[in-house]
Amino acid sequence: MKFNRKWLWLAVLVLTVGTVLAACGGGEEPAPEDTEGQGEEQAAETPAAGGDLKIAMNSDAVSLDPHGSNDVPSSNVANNIYETLVYQDENLEIQPLLAESWEQIDDTTWHFKLREDVTFTDGTPFNAEAVKVNLERILDPEFGSQRAFIFEGWLEEVNVVDEYTVEFKTAYPFSPILAHLAHSAGQMISPAAIEAERNGETNIGTNPVGTGPFVLERWEAGQEIVLTRNENYWGEPAKVDSITFIVVGEDATRLAMLETGDVHIVEPVAPSDVARVESSPNMELGRFDSLSLSYISFNTQKEPFNDVRVRQAISMAINKEEIIDGILEGTGIPAKGPLAPNVFGYYDGLEQIEYNPERAKELLAEAGYPDGFSTTIWTNDNQTRMDMAEVVQAQLKEIGIDVEIQVMEWGAYLEQTAQGEHDMFILGWVTVTADADYGLYALFHSKNHGEPGNRSFYSNPEVDELLDAARQESDPDVRLDLYRQVQEYLVEEAPMIYINHSEYLIGLSPKVEGYWHHPNGLMQLRNVTIND
């Protein structure tokens, strides 16, 4: 299943211009970032199909607090528990969710009319005050949300107009406001749960309370997470009775479980296993375009990676084609820079650093390392990334760099790369909003070192200035030119090696119907049925 990139880009462009002042119609697609659209016309009378949907995933969630985590495994679970004000459908078009409609009052004022028939699963009503409490929590420095950057700078005030009308005051005209509000960082948590956590009575990360179609039944850390259907859900109920997320780190084991019928979905399928899945009568392969980037990055504040010549040399020594063809089986498309083609702001004329090991040796010598040096490259326990690390190790040996590979558990990997303890590392990023502000501001602005996304600890005042200007600019053509300049800096200064924009490869049982994968990287589960 492939999305039309041109259509996606056009959809994002429409959103970015920001001329749509009010929402219309009910969503027919999925909810929040799990975009499995609800709507009044999809009423709760629709019968549920039942069953326990079993999903094998490669890593456990870190936290089920959407304001306190920023990784895909956590979001894949949390998106079934929480909801946002608006969501992006399959074509990346904004649709109503907890907000029924919205209106831009002036350049810096937006009003959102909220649904009046929604309660959190603890019985707390959803209203304008709940929205205010949630947004203020994200932006509270004492809370320290690693997703605060999504709202920082542009969001000045959240005001209660009346019980079901909330006002957003922005510091300047902010073109991607609707796309940012569709991000899972804006998922709504029960204000009562937030207050209880402040009082030390609960932990939202392990006791989530949202408005979504599922609730947490249990979480056995490192093993499985079980969600059950929210029987009091305001919209169309989920089709299955429960979802069990099973943590299975080994690619081969996950596929064996799918082939024998022990699970219904495997996320992800390793590129090296595509042929096996496609040839099996008991497995089907879902292929979905993405907004993602796979990259190899440096700690730009550590020697010798604080020298741009060293970063350029390593970039020239890495044969991306060997990685894409040999490990990724040719899936996805090669990356010129950090943005995928279906992201607003992508610059097609970007010239990438070419593979040139001889020039790489010259640059190392100029930087004072004629005989190379020793370093480490980190990866989490993901087979594809571990294979990529081995290729990098072999390629860098050719220019005199001795690389030790360190494989880490997912949670520790995120924590230690956020703290800057690494030399080089392999990771990915999804431009969830399909707007360059998210894809570039998080990864490269100096305000976002560490957990928010800039694990390269890259800092460039000129890039910061361009990124700040682009998010405040309402003219889409001017924004495009600003992002072009940013991308040219990012290729020249090489804080990371841009490998490819992947396809999402999902293993599916033939019994599964109604599944699709959002370009933002998240599984769409509410409308899935199991046909035994």
Compute the distance between CA of residue 146 and CA of residue 8 in angstroms, rounded to an integer.
Answer: 28
Q: Which of 284, 252, 354, 250 is nearest to 312 (CA)?
A: 354
pLDDT digits (tens, 9 = 90+) for 413-446: 999 999 999 999 999 999 989 999 999 999 999 9
Pairing of strands 374-380, 424-430: parallel
pLDDT tens digits, one per residue of 49-86: 699 999 999 999 999 999 999 888 999 999 999 999 99
How far apart, in whole angstroms, are the C-alpha atoms of residue 361 and residue 358? 5
Whole-number Å distance between alpha carbons of 222 and 249: 10
pLDDT of residue 49: 66
Query: Where are the domain boundaries for CATH 3.40.190.10 in the chain?
Result: 214-289+504-530
**3-state class of 466 per DSSP?**
helix
Q: CA 187 to CA 67: how far, in whole Å?
A: 8
Phi, psi of 297 (to 5 degrees): -125, 165
Q: Determine which helix (DSSP H) or strand (DSSP E) holds 250, and give its type and residue range.
A: none
CA dist., res. 351 & res. 125, Å (int): 52
CATH 3.90.76.10 domain span(s) along the chain: 5-38+66-198
Residue 349, classed as helix, strand or coil, is: coil
- Contact between 437 and 470 under an 8 Å Cβ cutoff? The reply is yes
Q: How far apart are CA 389 and CA 192, in angstroms?
A: 46
Distance CA 196, CA 217 (A): 19
Q: Is the dihedral of CA 93, 94, 95, 98 positive or negative?
A: positive
Per-residue pLDDT of the chain (532 residues; tens, 9 = 90+): 333 333 333 333 333 333 332 333 222 223 333 333 333 333 334 444 699 999 999 999 999 999 999 888 999 999 999 999 999 998 889 999 999 999 999 999 999 999 999 999 999 999 999 999 999 999 999 999 989 989 998 999 999 999 999 999 999 999 899 999 999 999 999 999 999 999 999 999 999 999 999 999 999 999 999 999 999 999 999 999 999 999 999 999 999 999 999 999 999 999 989 999 999 999 999 999 999 999 999 999 999 999 999 999 999 999 999 999 999 988 889 999 999 999 999 999 999 999 999 999 999 999 999 999 999 999 998 889 999 999 999 999 999 999 999 999 988 999 999 999 999 999 999 998 999 999 999 999 999 999 889 999 999 999 999 999 998 888 999 999 999 999 999 999 999 999 999 899 999 999 999 999 999 989 999 999 999 7
Choosing among 3.20.20.80, 3.40.190.10, 3.30.2350.10, 1.10.10.10, the CATH entry for 214-289+504-530 is 3.40.190.10
Q: CB–CB of 170/33 below 8 Å?
A: no
Q: How many CB atoms lie within 10 A of CB 412?
A: 11
Region of 160 (left: φ > 0; alpha: ψ -120 to 50; beta: rest) is beta
Asked whether the beta carbons of 133 and 191 are under 8 A apart, the reply is yes
Does the domain formed by 5-38+66-198 have CATH 3.40.50.300?
A: no
Inter-residue contact 454 to 445 (CB < 8 Å): yes
Closest CA to 426 of 352, 529, 497, 338: 497
Q: Using CA atoms, how far apart are residues 504 and 115, in angstroms rounded to an integer?
A: 33
Fold of 292-501: Dipeptide-binding Protein; domain 3 (3.10.105)
3-state secondary structure of 440: helix
Q: Which two tokens stand for residue 125?
A: 């009503």
